[in-house]
Chain A
Amino acid sequence: MDPIHLEATATTPKVNIDPSVDKFEISGESRPENAAKFYLPIIAWLDNYKSVLYFQKNSFGKAKAMKVNFKLDYFNSTSAKFILDIFYQLDKIRVDGFEIEVVWHYDGRDTDMKDSGEEFSSYVPELTVKYVEY
């Protein structure tokens, strides 16, 4: 599958999704003018990636574990809905039996951001989420 490399803009976060180097990362500020246009391809990519994981499992007996990093400075409320959809998508990967964890990075002075991670996690309590302060 083709990786997704998007540089950060004033309104959109940096996205670096490249399984060939084990990178699944969304970082920066998120308040896109059209959040659906920005996030739906990422959600669709994650959905399609399951076929790669199944292929690895069937060919090698085990799929590569996924570590998905979020390092957001700010996201608006419209983005929040899509970030939750990403969490749902990641949880589907877990439900299908693949090893996956989310790492939620937050500025130690911004505990609201940690709370946001916990809020998303509360919808998918069985998905492993680690909180890392920076």
Chain B
Amino acid sequence: MNPGNSVIHEIYKYMNDKGVLISYLGDFNQEVVNSLLDSVKKIIEDSSLDFQSGKRFYAVAAECLDNVNRYNYKQEGGSAFSKTFFNVSNDQNYYIIQTGNYILEEQKILLTEKLDKVNSLDTEGLKKFYHEKLSESPARGGGLGIIDISLRSGGKISYDSKPVREGVYFIVLLTSIKK
């Protein structure tokens, strides 16, 4: 067997064993987002989730992708930092959405401050925070998406970031939705 093919067999087995339903690694744009969300819709249709939970799953996936779009760092004219990661998997109890993207250090600081704040709040606190943020101007990226993800998933958003070179990190976010 061609050694390259053998690696793919191993990757496929590994991902399948991990309950991966969608996995994407590549360039990121609106067409890719639309296509990934279509796949998420298909997963929801095939699942036994009730209508409301399915809607929440879709909303969380859409906001996670928006979040990548907002913070994604693309290196000018180069491909070294251009690949974005999106993964949906499941185990017995949860659907798990993961994103991975490059991010500039100052953006990473802003985002992780928002994540820490949101993760520190309970549902009532989140609703109150959402209400405050919704009316804030200007109408762009005030952390509303992160609050929305947390409210709809009903859980905390875990994250990890690793430096890839000075001033640039790769950040991974993980959100779970109960089955």
Find out whether the CB atom of B131 lies under 8 angstroms from the CB atom of A122.
yes
Q: Is A35 an interface residue (CB 8 A)?
A: yes
Residue of A nearest to B56 (CB): A112
State the main secondary structure of chain B at its contact with A: helix
Q: Interface-forming stretch among A46-54, A57-65, A73-81, A125-133? A: A73-81
Residues of A within 8 A of B51 (CB): 107, 109-110
Q: Is the CB of A77 within 8 A of B144?
A: yes
- B135 contacts chain A at the CB level, 8 A cutoff: yes
Shortest C-beta distance, B33 to chain A (Å), equals 8
Interface of A is mostly: helix
* Of the residues B52, B58, B131, contact of A74 by C-beta under 8 Å: B58
**Which B residues are in CB contact (< 8 Å) with A112?**
52, 55-56, 152
The count of A-to-B residue pairs whose CB atoms sit within 8 angstroms is 61
Report if A24 contacts B (CB, 8 A): no
- A123 engages B52 (CB within 8 Å): no
Q: Are A31 and B66 in contact (CB under 8 A)?
A: yes
- Residues in A whose Cβ lies below 8 Å from that of B140: 36, 78, 81
Is there an interface contact between A77 and B139, defined as CB atoms closer than 8 Å?
Answer: no
The answer, yes or no, to whether A119 is at the interface (CB within 8 Å) is yes
**A85: CB under 8 A from chain B?**
yes
Q: Which residues of B contact A (CB under 8 A)?
A: 30, 34, 50-52, 55-56, 58-59, 62-63, 66, 130-131, 134-135, 139-142, 144-145, 147-148, 152
